[in-house]
Amino acid sequence: MGHTIGIDLGTTYSAAARVNDLGKPEIVVNRDGERLTPSVVLFQDELPIVGTMAKRSAVTAPLDVVQFVKRSMGDPSWKFETSGGTTYRPEEISAIILRRIKDDVELALGSPVTDAVVTVPAYFDDAPRRATIDAGRIAGLNVARVLNEPTAAALAYGVEHEVEGTVCVYDLGGGTFDVTVMRVGGGDFDVLATHGDRNLGGFDFDNLLMRLLDERFQAAGGPSLLDGAEAEADLREKAEIAKRSLTTVEQTRVVLSGGGVSKVVPLTRAEFEDVTSSLVSRTRDIAEMVVGDAGLDWPGVDHVLLAGGSTRMPMVRAMIGKVAGREPIRTVNPDEVVALGAAIQAHLVDLDKVTGESTNGSASGTVDGISAEPLPVLASAVTRPRVRDVTSQGLGALAVRRGAASAEDVENVVIIPANTKIPAKRGQVFETIENNQTRLKVEVTQGDDDDPDYVRAIGEQTFDIPPYPAGAPFEVVYAYDIDQTVFIEVHDKTSGERIGTFEVNNVATMAEGEVASATDRMRLLDIS
């Protein structure tokens, strides 16, 4: 029986990790001998190819390559159609990537993999979190936990270095950005505040650099390289290479070709930093807001931890060092730290499954009635870390504003605010607005504004109620579980009875039948 693994399902690169027999989290190398797997899928004659070969094919076969799908998780309108006419949703593309990772880990370890902890951006709301869980199911994995990426990074760093104090995790990945502040000590990882932007990452830096290069190429007499799929894919690849080069050197040269014109375009780090300065400023503003939400100022932050490959850019390190008043930590690999934290959380999941502990300190016993192999003990003084995360977004309900002249005057009532410790359970009493009202509609929202225009509806349910006079009280109780998915109970305060419950089946995610159908289709795919 295999143990649970950790997976960092990234926008541009993904990684898998496990806690080895010596109690150390380690990256599991893929079949190509790489520690990171590009989150790119190429469909060749309808068969999916994942990873480096797919990424290299983005220029030669751009219409058959799909990448950056993580930014579309939970978006029901997003579809990818292959040249053969087969349509895939974001969950299915992510499932293909997860299946490839699952197969690679099984090949490396020589045993089946059925369970995983999968990381997500802290600012993911209900829809992309559920979509991630569905992607795992389609890939043949039981997603035991959905873990916030900054929390995973802090967990890996904290366990390895036995950290004490407050930690600010600045996580700038390929497509998403998060900041989390937590207090670490005595094995406790207590998240204080988190916020982010699910559409801000290295992809956006590449986009601005692509526009700059395209403008210079046109000024030199060439055509726009953004007008055709192949030319744009080639420009994106060269912009990414140039961005990486400028991480280590002050200037580089980019060879651009199109329409019979070939030019060498010089580019300096200062020019790149100037054109992308607005993006860096957005990350700074979010970081300062989160530190304030945690009830701290920068002198009260003891450690600044960088996660995500985009934090390698010198301007990012310089900015966060300047605002924090201290150098960010450089002893961790920002590309791998999230996967390593996921592996530690996966190890904790396995410990929770085991019913007993052996006297030599390694856990053993039975899991689901099956004899389990002894589990290694983490090679750290922090052998059993405890994580307490928070909600990334508020959870509320739409209601007619008290004293409103019309039933159309609606407000959003926040029941569980952002940055509430999870799991969380809170209630709010509402009253009927008409005599003999027999129906009660509960509309669930995510967001922290009282204006309905600035929150997102994620589900609803209508209940039959007794015909009381207007003003009859009903309590709506919301529960956020450890994966930040939502469950609702409704209580009749007059009779003292519960009138119903429901779990939010987010309209943006796949229905159960769709997941089952996608799972069946996945089993038939030969993924390379």
Q: What is the CATH number of the domain that holds 400?
A: 2.60.34.10
* pLDDT exceeds 60 at position 96: yes
pLDDT digits (tens, 9 = 90+) for 19-37: 998 889 999 999 999 999 9
pLDDT score of 383: 73
* pLDDT exceeds 70 at position 371: no
How far is Cα of residue 97 from the mean position of the Cα atoms in its chain? 15
Quick one: 39 and 154 in the same domain? yes
pLDDT digits (tens, 9 = 90+) for 53-65: 999 888 888 889 9
Alpha-carbon gap, residue 414 to 394, rounded angstroms: 6
pLDDT score of 337: 95
* pLDDT exceeds 90 at position 484: no
Quick one: 361 and 472 in the same domain? no
Quick one: 432 and 376 in the same domain? no
- Backbone φ and ψ of 434, nearest 5°: -135, 150
373-398 mean pLDDT: 81
* pLDDT exceeds 70 at position 361: no
Cβ contact 265:256 at 8 Å? yes
Both tokens of residue 134? 């569905």
pLDDT score of 123: 85
311-319 mean pLDDT: 95
Does residue 373 sit within a domain?
A: yes
Cβ contact 352:375 at 8 Å? no
Please name the residue that has the structure tokens 């009660």: 440
222-235 mean pLDDT: 91
Catalytically active residues, by annotation: 8, 70, 149, 171
Confidence band (pLDDT; 50, 70, 90) for 2? low
Type of residue numbered 374 = P
Give 449-485 as a DSSP string: -SSGGGSEEEEEEEEEEEEEPTT-EEEEEEEE-TT--
Quick one: 27 and 120 in the same domain? yes
Angle of the 277-293 helix axis to the 202-219 helix axis, nearest 10: 160
Quick one: 379 and 400 in the same domain? no
The pLDDT mean for the chain works out to 89
Confidence band (pLDDT; 50, 70, 90) for 477? very high
pLDDT score of 110: 92
Q: Identify the residue with better confidence: 172 or 123.
A: 172
Give 149-195 as a DSSP string: HHHHHHHHHHHHHT--EEEEEEEE-SS-EEEEEEEEETTEEEEEEEE
In sequence order, the 6+-apart residues with CB closer than 8 A to the CB of 512 are: none
Confidence band (pLDDT; 50, 70, 90) for 508? low
pLDDT score of 362: 44
- Domain range holding 94? 5-164+330-387+517-524
Does residue 232 sit within a domain?
A: no
Quick one: 341 and 475 in the same domain? no
Quick one: 486 and 409 in the same domain? yes
275-299 mean pLDDT: 96
- For 22-60, letters b (16+ CB in 10 Å) and e give ebbbebbbbeeeebbbbbbbbbbeeebbbbeebbebbbe
pLDDT score of 112: 92
Does residue 423 sit within a domain?
A: yes
Quick one: 411 and 359 in the same domain? no
Quick one: 75 and 157 in the same domain? yes
Local structure of 265: helix, strand or coil: strand
Quick one: 43 and 140 in the same domain? yes
Q: What percent of the chain has pLDDT over 70?
A: 94
pLDDT score of 379: 72
Quick one: 349 and 493 in the same domain? no
Local structure of 406: helix, strand or coil: coil
pLDDT score of 486: 81
Quick one: 365 and 409 in the same domain? no
- Backbone φ and ψ of 141, nearest 5°: -115, 140
The number of domains in the chain is 2
pLDDT score of 167: 95
Local structure of 414: helix, strand or coil: strand
338-365 mean pLDDT: 71
